[in-house]
């Protein structure tokens, strides 16, 4: 039950604060804002009763189960209304379940089949969370990351500055000033109509596809440190200075760790299912 206890703890802040985030197909994830993370969080009690329906109770733990069932559908509910929505949903469910029991539906064959299906689903989820997912090590995640990006070959990245003006004549006048010794960054601050003007025209690093083709092709044709002539795009006329070129780098491990971990988990599930099916008699009827 250690996995379930950890999951309950992970949900604590979101439950108490009244905010929920989307959950994946296997592991539910909670998240608080940076501001909330710096504040002392209220004590979370999974057995705390949040509502009563007749003689039956609804607890914080029940909210977690409901959140798991809804998955990403919960994102359609405004963040600050999600807790109230879940409580009301569970109240309504209890009311309907009590009516069904009064009509004897709990003893029907249809109900038994539904219960068996839900039991299998719950056991599958518990096994994935408390056994499979819990067994994933940091070493496995890092090894998978290394394997994914071992032969990484992304587009070369360029870093450039530009000065954007409305006419070709204005752009040519800027080229003349630069050839006469004017400082590119200062001229960009003074004359560029683009939003990067305040930063001396610095656009940072970009790859093919990040800029309109006319701009990228002109920048890519330059040697580092060189300045282009007037270049026209849909935004106006540019004068471009190429600052640097560098090979593309794979995303940082921490940036993609959740996705890589999910990939490791998917592989483990596939292996476990394949092995178990190979050792079990499975017959599918048309």
Mean pLDDT taken over the chain: 85
Cα–Cα distance measured from residue 173 to residue 140, given in angstroms and rounded to the nearest whole number: 58
Q: Work out the end-to-end distance of the chain between its first and last CA atoms, rounded to an integer number of angstroms.
A: 39
Q: Could you say which DSSP state residue 196 is in?
A: G
Q: Encode pLDDT of 214-255 as tens digits.
A: 999 999 999 999 999 999 999 999 999 999 999 888 889 999
Residues 6+ apart with CB under 8 A from 36: 13, 17
Cα–Cα distance measured from residue 186 to residue 216, given in angstroms and rounded to the nearest whole number: 23
Cα–Cα distance measured from residue 255 to residue 265, given in angstroms and rounded to the nearest whole number: 18
- 43 pLDDT tier (thresholds 50, 70, 90): low
286 vs 160: which has the higher pLDDT:
160
Q: Is beta strand 236-246 parallel, antiparallel or unpaired with respect to 157-165?
A: antiparallel
Q: Encode pLDDT of 62-113 as tens digits.
A: 999 999 889 889 999 999 999 999 999 999 999 999 999 999 999 999 999 9
What is the H or E stretch that residue 246 is in?
strand 236-246
Cα–Cα distance measured from residue 207 to residue 154, given in angstroms and rounded to the nearest whole number: 9
Q: Encode pLDDT of 263-272 as tens digits.
A: 999 999 999 9
Cα–Cα distance measured from residue 175 to residue 173, given in angstroms and rounded to the nearest whole number: 5
């Amino acid at each position: 039950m250690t996995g379930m206890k950890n999951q309950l703890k992970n949900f604590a802040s979101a439950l108490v604060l009244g905010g929920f985030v989307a959950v994946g197909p296997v592991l539910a994830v909670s998240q608080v804002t940076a501001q909330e993370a710096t504040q002392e969080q209220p004590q979370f009690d999974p057995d705390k009763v949040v509502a009563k329906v007749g003689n039956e109770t609804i607890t914080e733990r029940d909210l977690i189960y409901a959140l798991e069932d809804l998955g990403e559908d919960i994102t359609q509910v405004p963040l600050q209304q999600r807790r109230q929505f879940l409580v009301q949903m569970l109240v309504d469910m209890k009311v309907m379940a009590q009516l069904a029991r009064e009509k004897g539906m709990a003893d029907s064959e249809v109900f038994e089949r539904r219960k068996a299906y839900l039991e299998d689903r719950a056991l599958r989820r518990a096994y994935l969370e408390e056994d499979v997912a819990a067994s994933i090590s940091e070493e496995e995640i890092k090894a998978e990351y290394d394997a994914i990006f071992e032969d990484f070959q992304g587009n070369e990245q360029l870093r450039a500055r530009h000065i954007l003006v409305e006419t070709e004549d204005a752009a040519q006048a800027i080229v003349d000033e630069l050839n006469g010794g004017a400082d590119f960054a200062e001229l960009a601050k003074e004359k560029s109509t683009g939003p990067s003007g305040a930063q001396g025209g610095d656009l940072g690093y970009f790859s093919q596809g990040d800029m309109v083709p006319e701009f990228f092709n002109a920048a890519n044709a330059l040697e580092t440190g060189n300045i282009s002539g007037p270049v026209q795009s849909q935004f106006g006329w540019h004068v471009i200075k190429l600052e640097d070129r560098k090979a593309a780098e794979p995303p940082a491990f921490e940036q993609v760790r959740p996705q890589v971990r999910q990939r490791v988990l998917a592989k483990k599930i596939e292996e476990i299912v394949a092995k178990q099916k190979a050792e079990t008699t499975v017959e599918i009827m048309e």
